[in-house]
Amino acid sequence: MLLRLRAIPTLNRDSDMRLKVLSTGSRGNCYLLQDGDEILILDAGLPIRRIMEAIDNPEEIVGCLITHEHMDHAKAAYDLAKRGIKVYASAGTWAAIQGDKPRLWSQCYAYKDWSVSLGRYQVFPFPTEHDAAEPMGFVIRNNATNEKLLYATDTFYLRRTFPGMHYWLVECNYCEDQLDRMLYDGLIDIELRNRLKKSHMSLGRLEEALSLNDLTVTRKIILCHLSDQRSDERRMVKEILESTGIDTVAADAQMEIPLELAPF
C-alpha cells in the first residue's frame, strides 16, 4: 500500500533539523528530533533521568512517539506522560505499557492512516510487523520546511512504500548469513533465529524495502537498532550506500546527525 502525504508549500526558511541519538540497540532506543526550539522524542527506552539530562530545556519537548511496548523502547513512556508530555502510541501499546496504572491525560493514541500535529511536526503513524501488541512506525513531516523523515524499527518488513522521504531512520538489525552461522555453530537456538526473522529487519530485507521505494529526494539513511552480536556495521553501511547511492550512517550513542536537504 502506498502512503501518500498531501503536499504543502515549502516555506522560505533554512532547515535546522538534526537527530541526536541518546541510545540505540537492545540496551535502549531513544532519539531526539530537533528543529530550532522544538524537540520530538522518538521512543523512550531509557530511564527518564537520562532522557531529561540530554535536554537543556524540557519546555522545548513537543511530544514523544512510542513504536511499541518493549522496555528498550518504552521504559520512560509512562513517566514522560506523568510529567505532562504528550506521549503517542497505539491503543494496544498503551494498554501493555499502562497495565494497572491509572490512565493519564497525556497518554495519547496513534491510529494508522491518521495524523497529529506536535509543534511544527505533523506525524503520520503506520502499522509495522513485530511481536508486540500493536506496533507502529511514523512518518514525520516538518511543516515549516516540508522535510519528511521515516522512523521504522523493530519490524521485519515494510508493507507500504513511502515516496518523498528525505531521511530514513530505519532498523538494520542483523545480517542473514551471520544469523545462520550462529545457528550452525550452536550459539543460538532455532527458536531465537525464527523469532528474529519474524520480528526484526535484516540487511537483506532493508535493501529490498529501499529498492521498492522512490528515493529521488532522499538525502540520508540512518541505520538503527543494530544487534551487537549479529550485525556488521561497516558492511551494512557499505552495502546500503552502494545499493542506493545515498549517504548512509549507522546510529551510535551520543551521535548528533545533521539533517540537510543540501548537504554538499
pLDDT tens string 80-101: 999 999 999 999 999 999 999 9
- Report the percentage of the chain scoring pLDDT > 90: 81
Q: Give the model confidence (pLDDT) of 114-144 as tens digits.
A: 999 999 999 999 999 999 999 999 999 999 9
Residue 132, C-beta contacts closer than 8 angstroms, at least 6 positions apart = 68, 69, 70, 92, 93, 96, 154
- Tell me the three state secondary structure of residue 73: helix
Residue 131 lies in a domain: yes
User: Is the pLDDT reported for residue 188 higher than 90?
Assistant: no
Q: What is the pLDDT of residue 44?
A: 98
From residue 53, how far is each of 47, 50, 98, 178 by CA, in Å? 10, 5, 24, 37
- The grid coordinates listed for 11 are 516555506
Is the Cβ–Cβ distance between 250 and 236 less than 8 Å? yes
Per-residue pLDDT averaged across 235-253, rounded?
Answer: 97
Q: What is the pLDDT of residue 187?
A: 81
Q: Give the model confidence (pLDDT) of 206-242 as tens digits.
A: 999 999 999 999 999 999 999 988 889 999 999 999 9
Mean pLDDT value across the chain = 92
- Give the integer Cα–Cα distance in Å for 24 and 147: 23
Angle at 52 between CA 50 and CA 57, to 5 degrees: 155
* Predicted confidence band of residue 6 (pLDDT cuts 50, 70, 90): very low
Query: What CATH number has the domain bearing residue 206?
Result: 3.60.15.10
Domain count across the chain = 1
Question: For 176-188, b where at least 16 C-beta lie within 10 A, e where not — what string?
Answer: eebbeebeeeeeb
Residue 225 lies in a domain: yes
- The grid coordinates listed for 201 are 529487519
Residue 261 lies in a domain: no
In terms of residues, how long is the chain? 264
Q: Give the model confidence (pLDDT) of 19-34 as tens digits.
A: 999 999 999 999 999 9
The amino acid that residue 15 corresponds to is: S
Q: What is the pLDDT of residue 194?
A: 77
Residue 151 lies in a domain: yes
- Give the integer Cα–Cα distance in Å for 67 and 226: 17
- Give the integer Cα–Cα distance in Å for 256 and 131: 30
- Give the integer Cα–Cα distance in Å for 168 and 32: 14
Residue 12 lies in a domain: no
User: Is the pLDDT reported for residue 186 higher than 70?
Assistant: yes
Q: What is the pLDDT of residue 15?
A: 63
Residue 11 lies in a domain: no
Residue 217 lies in a domain: yes
Residue 264 lies in a domain: no
- Report the percentage of the chain scoring pLDDT > 70: 94
Per-residue pLDDT averaged across 194-200, rounded?
Answer: 84
Q: What is the pLDDT of residue 223?
A: 98
- The grid coordinates listed for 17 are 533539523
Per-residue pLDDT averaged across 34-61, rounded?
Answer: 97
Q: Give the model confidence (pLDDT) of 146-160 as tens digits.
A: 999 999 999 999 999
User: What is the domain range of residue 74?
Assistant: 17-256
Residue 187, C-beta contacts closer than 8 angstroms, at least 6 positions apart = 229
Question: Smallest Cα–Cα separation from 249: which of 43, 125, 263, 128?
Answer: 263
> Rounded to two decimals, what is the model's pTM?
0.93
Q: What DSSP assignment string belongs to 186-198? A: TSS-HHHHHHHHT
Q: What is the pLDDT of residue 132?
A: 96
- Give the integer Cα–Cα distance in Å for 37 and 24: 24
